[in-house]
Each structure stands twice: as structure tokens, then as C-alpha cells.
Amino acid sequence: MSENSSAEGAAVVQEIVAAFPSGRGSLIPILQEIQRRQGYISPEALKALERLTGISATEAYGVATFYTQFRFTRPGRHKIQVCNGTACHVRGGAQVLEELERRLGISVGQTTPDGQFSLERVACLGCCALSPVVAVDGKVYAGMTPKKVPGVLREYAAQATQSARQEK
């Protein structure tokens, strides 16, 4: 992280901390908000948090690692969540995940080298009646099959090239 953006990051953390009541009960909500804004919990964010709240970075890290929601590496531009709940498991969710891994060339928990996609396995997205289910950036795709995987990925790959073009 460049010095500039890490200073920016610290300012964001400061803003977030100020918005919550002081006290231990706010730790998890603050971490959630940091992750929502910055995409993950960076060591810099934990340090800023320590300065602002007095909760040590190790302590906060210990709490955060207990919960599967928190990530500690920068996520891809698009977040793919594959449901691993029971309903999705019995209707072939694992095959969908494998196809995604194969197409993206990464394993679950990783991000593609170009930073476009990260792949996560989650327990139940609450759409069990339409299983198996995959969500990309929160948009839910129901009744998934390995065959539908390339089509879904293409939607986002197209978006990615488009926005790259716009940036130029």
C-alpha cells in the first residue's frame, strides 16, 4: 500500500470508529464496516483501530479470525460465493464449485491473479428452494449447473473489459 492510500485508509477507519458508540460491543460492527468499505481487514486498519479505540491489534485480529465473515487479503473485483448448504450440496453444488475452480484456475478462498474474481464457499444463502445457488456480488443465480458456469462468468468478464476500456 502506498503511503498516501494508507493515510486515506486510516482516515476511513477514524470516520467509522467515530460513528459507533464507544465500548467493546462496537468492535465487531466496526470491523464489519471496515470490511464493507475497504473490502478486507488490513494490518493498517487494525493499527489505526488500536490507536483510536485502545483495543490492541492482536486482540482485534483474534476476534476477527474467529468469524468466517472477515477476510485479511484484498478481495477480487467480483466476489463469487458458492453455496455449500445442505440443499445445495444434495443437488450438486460441489460440481458447480469445481467447474468454477477449473474455469478460474484458482481454488476456493483465492483470488484470480488479475484481481477480477475471488471465490468463496458459504453456508446457505437462504435460497435453498432454488438450489444449487451461486451469488456474484450479491446477485443470486438459482438452479446452477456446471454448464451454466461459463455464461455467468462471461457476464462479469464482459463488464470488466468494458470498464477497463472506459478507464482508458
Rg, C-alpha atoms of the chain: 18
Interaction residues for another protein, span 104-163 (CB under 8 A) = 122-131, 133, 138, 140-142, 146-147
C-alpha grid cell, residue 104: 478460474
Is 95 a binding residue for another protein by CB under 8 A? The answer is yes
Q: How far apart are alpha carbons 102 and 72 in whole angstroms? A: 24
Is 26 a binding residue for another protein by CB under 8 A? The answer is yes
Is 67 a binding residue for another protein by CB under 8 A? The answer is yes
69 binds, among ligand FES, another protein, none (CB under 5 to 8 A by kind): another protein
Total number of residues that touch another protein (CB under 8 A): 45
For residue 78, the tally of other CB atoms under 10 A from its CB is 20
* Residue 115 vs 150, nearer CB to another protein: 150
Burial class of residue 125 in the structure, from the number of CB atoms within 10 Å of its CB (0-12 exposed, 13-18 middle, 19+ buried): buried
Residue type, 62: G
Q: Does residue 124 come out as left (phi exceeding 0), alpha (psi in the -120 to 50 range) or beta? A: left
Residue from 16, 41, 133, 149 binding ligand FES (CB under 6 A): 133
Is 52 a binding residue for another protein by CB under 8 A? The answer is no
Q: Give the interface with another protein as residue ranges (CB under 8 A).
A: 23-29, 31-32, 62-63, 66-70, 84-91, 95, 98-99, 102, 122-131, 133, 138, 140-142, 146-147
